[in-house]
């Protein structure tokens, strides 16, 4: 049985990017989905780090007050007939 990975990234401001990838097995699809989820988690962690207070020369700190939209992931594996 083959599988199809359906992916949509929601990029903020209503923008999105969708695609699909055929894979040789459900196992391969689930592995690819897990890698995509790791990437989504890394993007969120980077956005969180960007919001951390920063030291400035001469003393003091700056704390960002706005955040860029964090991409959101929806990924689904579906089985397909051979």
For 13-68, write each residue's pLDDT tens digit. 888 999 999 999 999 999 999 999 999 999 988 888 777 777 778 777 877 777 77
Tell if the pTM clears 0.85, that is, is over it. Answer: no
Could you give the angle at the alpha carbon of 23 between the alpha carbons of 80 and 14, nearest 5°? 90
- Label residue 58 left, alpha or beta by phi (over 0 means left) and psi (-120 to 50 means alpha): left
Domain boundaries, given as residue ranges, for the chain: 2-51+70-80
- Tell me how far apart the alpha carbons of residues 20 and 4 are, in angstroms, rounded to a whole number: 7
């Amino acid at each position: 049985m083959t599988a199809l990975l359906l992916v949509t990234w929601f990029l903020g401001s209503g923008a999105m990017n969708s695609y699909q990838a055929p894979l040789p097995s459900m196992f391969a699809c689930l592995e690819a989905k897990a890698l995509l989820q790791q990437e989504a988690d890394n993007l969120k962690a980077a956005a969180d780090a960007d919001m951390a207070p920063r030291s400035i020369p001469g003393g003091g700190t700056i704390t960002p007050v706005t955040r860029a939209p964090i991409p959101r992931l929806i990924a689904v594996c579906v089985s397909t007939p051979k």
